[in-house]
Structure 1
Amino acid sequence: MSSPIEKSPQILEAADLNASESLKGAPAQISGPEPPRQKWYEWFAPTDTPAERRLILKLDGLIIVFVFLAYWAKVLDSSATSTAYVSGMKEDLKLYGNQLNYLNAVYYVGFIVMQIPLTLLMTRCPVNYFLPAADLIWGVFTLAQYKVTKVTQLYALRFFVGALGGFFFPAVQWYLGCWYKRSELSRRGAIFFIASQVGSMSSGYIQAGAYDSLNGRFGLEGWRWLYIICFACTVPIAFLGLCLLPSTPDKCNSRFLTEDEIKLAQERMASENRESRQPFTKAKIIEILKGWRLWVLVGFAFFFSQADGVSSNSGLSLWLKAEGYSVGDIDTITTVSPAVTIIASVICAVISDIYDAKASLIAITAVLNIFACIVLAIWNVPDGLKFFAFFLSGTADGIAAVVYAWANEICAHSAEERALVISAMNTIGNTFATWVPILVWKTEDAPRYLIGYNWNIALDVCMLIMVFVLHHFWMRVQKLAPV
């Protein structure tokens, strides 16, 4: 890990990208012996002072606990409507047409359209109030779904649930970048991301148990209880956030951080060239649009966001069903994929933080998934190899924390650009991920998604190219940075 930088490098400006790229955000080159490297099992870097270690532990307790629990609760809701649909909502609300598809479409419209505006709005507000308040309002809209009597009411509620939940992922990635150094970001981002996998693995059991034990209680159908359960999980988490979360180091009023710790946090971010929030002016927007960071990172996100198609389109479960496996066996075996994602996330995060090997990790993951998709595209292979390919594809999402940690590092010079780029990356990914599968992952092709597996190969190849392009631009900025 690089030692702290006492003075930020000067910001070089240029209008012509080919002549001289803007160097804002590039770390200074420091001469001298390399500091001792952190071990993979160590939570702190050898260069961290005792004061820094106390601060980091406090931040982990104040921030990471909340964002993990809040993200877990949102995954519960994302699956609640599908579960409710097959648990009586279809009959009670007379949803006999394409209403479920429309409900999902309305949800994703709110999810996608409001990501960038709400993430940028958060940069103008005290984050310690904005995130928990949005979480609480999201919980209220989730709860309101249990009272619906017609599908039109559900359409309106699903839009707001999508809008208030959709911005949470990019907003948290930006927020983590306000407090943690580049050698700490990937591991925290991985812990946050793992919440979605834990939520996917636990949601079915929680919802099944709630339905079995509460169906008919107090005159409410089981599917209505699902939304009440989601609300009950969300409210205490939102209040926990209101009590614990600090804002950002530049304007921090946390009751749990001392003045010295806040000053230390500011110094840590200054050593990373991580600039505090500034006015979001027209000139700044034009500057962001003219730079390479937005376009290259968003272009990379287009391919990355869809590269998990094997695990996200139920290929494994449909193949197991076609092979005659029991429902219990299918439910058990398919939990291996999110478990692989969790393991891959942890491994990639640790290696990324210690060795700063973001580009290499992304490239290796892409190669592994190309191999998995080639095996599945061939299809007529031994069952053991097919299982291995399906499980190996779970590594595709293992680099999510690495990708967004890299975006935080690349855009360190501007809090506003970080927010815009990170939210745009997530928005473009979700936008295409909502309709492209309809074309390439067709249900009639299951379980052998020949088009889908070949599409995934193409995505991973393009991701390799984009990693090279991104690494080239970033290395160019670092080499030209003043010493």
Structure 2
Amino acid sequence: MSIAVDKPPQEETPTLGDDSRREVHEKSVYTSVTLPAHNPSEPIRQKWYQYFSPADTPEERRLILKLDGLIVVFVFLAYWAKVLDSSATSTAYVSGMKEDLKLYGNQLNYLNTVYMVGFITMQIPLTLIMTRFPVNYFLPAADLLWGVFTLAQYKAGNVTQLYAFRFFVGALGGFFFPAVQWYLGSWYKRSELNRRGAVFFIASSVGSMSSGYIQAGAYERLNNRFGIEGWRWLYIICFACTIPIALLGLLVLPGTPENCRSRILTPREIQLAQERMASERREPRQPFTMPKIKSILTRWRFWVLVGFAFFFSQADGVSSNSGLSLWLKAEGYSVESINTITTVSPAVTIVSSLICGIVADAYDAKVALIAGTAVLNIFASIVLAIWNVPVGLKFFAFFLSGTADGIAATIYAWANEICAGDSEERAVVISAMNTIGNTFGAWLPLFVWKTVDAPRYFIGYNWTIALDVCMLVMLFVLRHFWNRDQKKRQYSE
């Protein structure tokens, strides 16, 4: 790994070079702040209730706030809009699309399959292509195209047309998650990345909570307005939400620190961002060659992180396979009650994601957070596998399973940190981690979470226990290799 050489400090505005130089600046700039002794290779972390690190200069704090406003706001809104579309087809199907397009038999399953084919097959290629182009144009442009194909679905006259549109919607939306994780890792330090990743991730839960209300209200008020059926309006609304967000991205997104042409960031702020990433050993992009690909695929980081991602990505089955809603329906709860009660699980995911992001940034407690979440999920799955337990405990287990996804941002932030020395490796590993989860998630539930077993998914709950146990084993394997690399780097320094 090549180490970037820091530039000498300027006379009036200190730059952020290595940690020893930073301590000299802190004595002059922050004379009233006493900083604790720390490992020079580790950043000085903020407390959980602090937004900035004590080591951040006023100039650096202004840059962080700008980046949050430019990057985090956009990726949150864009991800939220994509969740609306992911649920729009199912809602449209039961709101008139089935009859209008004569979708009988397994056509709905085929539509979902075509969507997932585009989602999975194009995820890694598009993420890698993105690293070759200015990200500030590529991401919003992909969003614009995604909005166009989403709108095109409202004009579909038969299921064949809908198949084609769904493929492109899946392809253009599928790479967004790993691309954003890579993008965040290009701007934020490891002591800042978990929280930003958590804010981005919870857009999915916010979207799933809000989509039902938006779609129900739209159908009720717009059905047959201007001669357009209610289910077609759902796609028009998705388009109307997407286009302004994509245009916002074109206006405000910066590129990457090493190739940044921003209308809002100043040249000094871009230089500061480059220095911040150099201090993190976050390497800029390099030519993508066959020897580079071969090198990536022969390192432990690819195989261990992707293997770990397999177990993590499948371990949220309790909350993602409608066990709670089906149990409530079997118990005779009203539709209104079911819709209200089931919003608790995504709310738990939101809260746990934010807690994990804050704690991971403040205390570098990634291993403890991941292990603790796995243990909680094992407990919830054991309770549900037993099944014949008090009703209150069963509710608690279903709600507790919402924490399973709370560590997603922490895991991807850790991958950014582990692969910090190679920008292309970060892109390959992060996109492959997400692809492996979606690939197996597309067909494994057919065997593990069978509808005929609902609501007592005995096989599914035991499968989740096994996944979490394996995830704990892989966690310590991952920690072993990471600690070994850390020791090598410290020794070489």
Does TM, normalized by the shorter one, top 0.5? yes
Match among 105, 114, 121 for residue 113 of structure 2: 105
Amino acid at match of 1:199: G
Amino acid at match of 1:157: F
Residue 455 of structure 1: how far off its partner (Å): 0.2
Give the equivalent residue in structure 1 for 2:201.
193
Moved more, 355-364 or 228-237: 355-364
Whether the 8 Å CA contact 2:154–2:233 is kept in 1: the answer is yes
Q: Mapping of 1:197-276 within 5 angstroms?
A: 197-276=205-284
Residue 480 of structure 1: how far off its partner (Å): 1.4
Residue 40 of structure 1: how far off its partner (Å): 1.3
SS at match of 2:226: helix
Change (3 A) 1:32 1:309: closer
Change (3 A) 1:134 1:5: same
Q: Mapping of 1:394-405 within 5 angstroms?
A: 394-405=402-413
1:176 aligns with 2:218: no
Q: Mapping of 1:20-419 within 5 angstroms?
A: 31=39, 37-419=45-427
CA distance in 1, matches of 2:343, 2:459: 25
Gaps of 5+ in 1: 9-28
Amino acid at match of 2:178: P
CA distance in 2, matches of 1:34, 1:270: 13
1:6 aligns with 2:22: no
Spell out, residue by residue over 1:274-317, the C-alpha distance to the aligned partner (whole angstroms, 9 max, x if none). 00000001111111011000000000000000110000000000
CA distance in 2, matches of 1:35, 1:207: 45
Amino acid at match of 1:356: D
CA distance in 1, matches of 2:324, 2:438: 22
Give the equivalent residue in structure 2 for 1:444.
452
Whether the 8 Å CA contact 2:281–2:420 is kept in 1: the answer is yes
Residue 96 of structure 1: how far off its partner (Å): 1.0
Whether the 8 Å CA contact 2:178–2:431 is kept in 1: the answer is yes
Whether the 8 Å CA contact 2:193–2:413 is kept in 1: the answer is yes
Aligned identity (percent) is 79
Whether the 8 Å CA contact 1:118–1:167 is kept in 2: the answer is yes
Whether the 8 Å CA contact 1:4–1:272 is kept in 2: the answer is no
Residue 255 of structure 1: how far off its partner (Å): 1.0
Gaps of 5+ in 2: 1-14, 21-36
Spell out, residue by residue over 1:365-386, the C-alpha distance to the aligned partner (whole angstroms, 9 max, x if none). 0000000000000000000000
SS at match of 2:261: coil
Residue 159 of structure 1: how far off its partner (Å): 0.1
SS at match of 2:52: coil
Change (3 A) 1:381 1:421: same
Whether the 8 Å CA contact 2:316–2:401 is kept in 1: the answer is yes
Amino acid at match of 2:413: A
Amino acid at match of 2:418: I
CA distance in 1, matches of 2:79, 2:192: 20
1:463 aligns with 2:471: yes
SS at match of 1:276: coil
Residue 35 of structure 1: how far off its partner (Å): 8.1
Change (3 A) 1:476 1:4: farther
CA distance in 1, matches of 2:189, 2:236: 39
Residue 97 of structure 1: how far off its partner (Å): 1.0
CA distance in 2, matches of 1:110, 1:337: 28
TM-score with structure 2 setting the length: 0.92
Amino acid at match of 2:237: I
CA distance in 2, matches of 1:322, 1:465: 37
Whether the 8 Å CA contact 2:43–2:191 is kept in 1: the answer is no
Spell out, residue by residue over 1:20-76, the C-alpha distance to the aligned partner (whole angstroms, 9 max, x if none). xxxxxxxxx975799865221211111111011000000000001100000000000
Spell out, residue by residue over 1:409-465, the C-alpha distance to the aligned partner (whole angstroms, 9 max, x if none). 000001100000000000000000110001000001011000000000000000000
Change (3 A) 1:100 1:347: same
Runs of at least 4 residues off by over 6 Å: 32-36
Change (3 A) 1:4 1:479: farther
Higher relative contact order (CA closer than 8 Å, sequence separation 6+): 1
CA distance in 2, matches of 1:296, 1:236: 39
CA distance in 2, matches of 1:276, 1:59: 18
Residue 250 of structure 1: how far off its partner (Å): 0.3
Amino acid at match of 2:163: Y
Whether the 8 Å CA contact 2:349–2:406 is kept in 1: the answer is yes
Change (3 A) 1:269 1:87: same
RMSD of equivalent CA atoms: 1.6
